[in-house]
């Protein structure tokens, strides 16, 4: 996802370049399992300091359900918007002073923009914290580990509450006698 932006950097502020994105076999991150191609659209606009780049990508991620631990595929539509700053002057080739901001994206010395990192960050932010294979996933039995989506297991039901042990401390008749009367 590399674009040469030398001509756009020479253009006046306000000029725009748009392009379709289609990338086969992209590895964005070791934690992101991208299945199939990434398709989308990018728009680059010349601004005073560099480029304002925005767009969207459609991709399929291989994820693990946090309830039942099954692998599943999730279609995602992810938007992104970032600023890219030049490292060298496009006309003279002279190095430019670094930008005093954290987490800036740069246009390299060959006047190329690599969208991979910007898209990787946008995808990481778009992945839900709890990934579910289906909305009503029943998960695994906490006693035997049986997948409850396949049906119930043969385990004895756990106690209703973690406070059930308190019942053994006082007999029910004593609890009923100590209740305040109205």
Answer whether 59's CB lies under 8 Å from 131's CB. Answer: no
Higher pLDDT, 37 or 27: 37
Q: Within a domain: residue 140? A: no
Structure tokens of 33? 């399992």
> pTM score, two decimals?
0.77
Answer whether 15's CB lies under 8 Å from 130's CB. Answer: no
Q: Within a domain: residue 148? A: no
Domain that holds residue 68: 2-126
Q: Within a domain: residue 100? A: yes
> In terms of Cα–Cα distance, which of 63, 155, 49 is closest to 97?
49
- pLDDT category at 25 given cuts 50, 70, 90 is confident
Q: Within a domain: residue 118? A: yes
Q: Within a domain: residue 155? A: no
Q: What is the pLDDT of residue 171?
A: 63
User: Mind listing the pLDDT tens digit for each residue in 57-103?
Assistant: 999 999 999 999 999 999 999 999 999 999 888 878 787 877 777 77
Q: How many residues does the chain have?
A: 182
154 alpha carbon, distance to own chain's centre: 38
Q: How large is the average pLDDT for residues 36-42?
A: 95
* DSSP string for residues in 83-111: EEEESB-TTT-PBPPPPSSSS-EEE-TTS
Q: Within a domain: residue 111? A: yes
Number of domains observed in the structure of the chain: 1
Q: How large is the average pLDDT for residues 158-164?
A: 63
Residue 145 gets the label, from left (phi > 0), alpha (psi -120 to 50) or beta, of left
- pLDDT category at 134 given cuts 50, 70, 90 is very high
> How far are the Cα atoms of 82, 104, 106 from residue 98, in angstroms, in the given order?
17, 10, 9
Q: Quick check: 27 pLDDT over 60?
A: yes
DSSP letter for 41, please. E
Q: Quick check: 182 pLDDT over 60?
A: no
Q: Within a domain: residue 53? A: yes
Q: Within a domain: residue 6? A: yes
Question: Quick check: helix, strand or coil at residue 15?
Answer: coil
Q: How large is the average pLDDT for residues 98-123?
A: 88
> How far are the Cα atoms of 1, 4, 22, 36, 131 from residue 40, in angstroms, in the given order?
11, 18, 7, 13, 23
């Amino acid at each position: 996802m590399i674009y040469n932006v030398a001509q756009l950097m020479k253009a006046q502020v306000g000029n725009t370049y748009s392009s379709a994105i289609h990338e086969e076999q992209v590895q964005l991150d070791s934690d992101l399992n991208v299945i199939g191609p990434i398709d989308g659209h990018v728009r680059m606009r010349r601004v005073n300091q560099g480029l304002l780049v925005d767009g969207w990508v459609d991709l399929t991620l291989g994820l693990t359900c946090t309830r039942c631990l099954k692998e599943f595929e999730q279609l995602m539509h992810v938007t992104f918007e970032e600023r890219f700053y030049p490292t060298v002057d496009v006309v003279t080739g002279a190095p430019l002073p670094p930008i005093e901001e954290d987490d800036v994206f740069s246009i390299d010395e060959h006047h190329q923009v690599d969208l991979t990192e910007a898209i990787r960050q946008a995808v990481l932010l778009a992945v839900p914290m709890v990934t579910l294979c289906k909305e009503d996933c029943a998960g695994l039995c906490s006693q035997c580990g049986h997948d409850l989506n396949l049906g119930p297991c043969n385990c004895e039901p756990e106690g209703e509450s973690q406070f059930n042990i308190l019942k053994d401390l006082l007999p029910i008749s004593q609890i009923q006698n100590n209740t305040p009367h109205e």
